[in-house]
Copies of this chain bind each other. A is one copy, B any other.
Amino acid sequence: MTKIEIGQIIKERRVYLGITQKDLADIVGISLRSLVDIENGNGNPTIDQLNKILNALGLTLKISTV
């Protein structure tokens, strides 16, 4: 699962929930710029920041064997 795929999932989920990038960034407590970059596969977020975003969207990280 690449950064691009992660960004796509976040974006799809956010749109599905009908939230703007600005609102989600505010809810999560991160900058709009960071969220935009993550959704577009730019940027290289930390686990903490990624988890904050996923939690706000009702998503969670998992690790599985390939």
Q: What is the 8 Å Cβ interface bit string for chain A, positions 24-66, against chain B (1 contact, 0 not)?
A: 0000000000000000000011111011001000111111111
Residues of A within 8 Å of B, CB-based: how many?
Answer: 22
Copies of the protein in its oligomer: 2
Other-chain residue from B44, B47, B48, B61 in contact with A62 (beta carbon distance below 8 A)? B61
- Check if A3 sits within 8 Å of B47, measured CB to CB: yes
Given contacts A1-B60, A9-B63, A62-B1, contact A47 B48 (CB under 8 A): no
**Assuming A60-B65, A62-B62, what are 14 further A-B pairs, CB within 8 angstroms?**
A1-B62, A1-B63, A2-B51, A44-B48, A45-B46, A46-B46, A47-B47, A47-B50, A58-B65, A59-B63, A59-B64, A59-B65, A60-B64, A62-B63
